[in-house]
Amino acid sequence: MSEEKTYESASERLDEIINRLDSGDARLKETLELCTEAKGLIEFCAAELSAVDEGLKELKLDELARSLAPGQGAVPAGEPQLEPVPDPAPGQAPVPGDDEVPF
């Protein structure tokens, strides 16, 4: 039974090939075979990364991240709308909120 090739399995095999080539024990013909296999694995990994990149672009995660940045996005339906807390006037001490602990 053949194992399905995944990015992770291809990356692991590339590590094995690199270790074999680095060992200096591979003969000339084996080196050529390993380099040929590595080229195919690198092309496979590049295609997988490209597909994931395209999928992320389709999700428009950068737009989602910008919309979630403070003061940038809409509040989802059913969520309470929070009012911004004004800065204290010059010379006044800030009033601690629920998330602040006075010292």
- Cβ–Cβ < 8 Å for 8, 48: no
CA–CA distance from 97 to each of 84, 85, 86, 89, 103 (Å)? 12, 9, 12, 16, 13
Q: What digits encode the pLDDT tens for the residues 50-98?
A: 999 888 887 787 777 778 877 655 555 556 655 666 666 666 665 555 5
When pLDDT is cut at 50, 70 and 90, the band that residue 5 belongs to is: very high
Residues 40-48, mean pLDDT to the nearest whole number: 97
> Which segments of the chain does DSSP mark as H helices, in order?
7-23, 28-59, 61-68
User: Residues 49, 50, 51, CA angle at the centre, nearest 5°?
Assistant: 90
Residues contacting 18, CB < 8 A, separation 6+? 38
When pLDDT is cut at 50, 70 and 90, the band that residue 34 belongs to is: very high
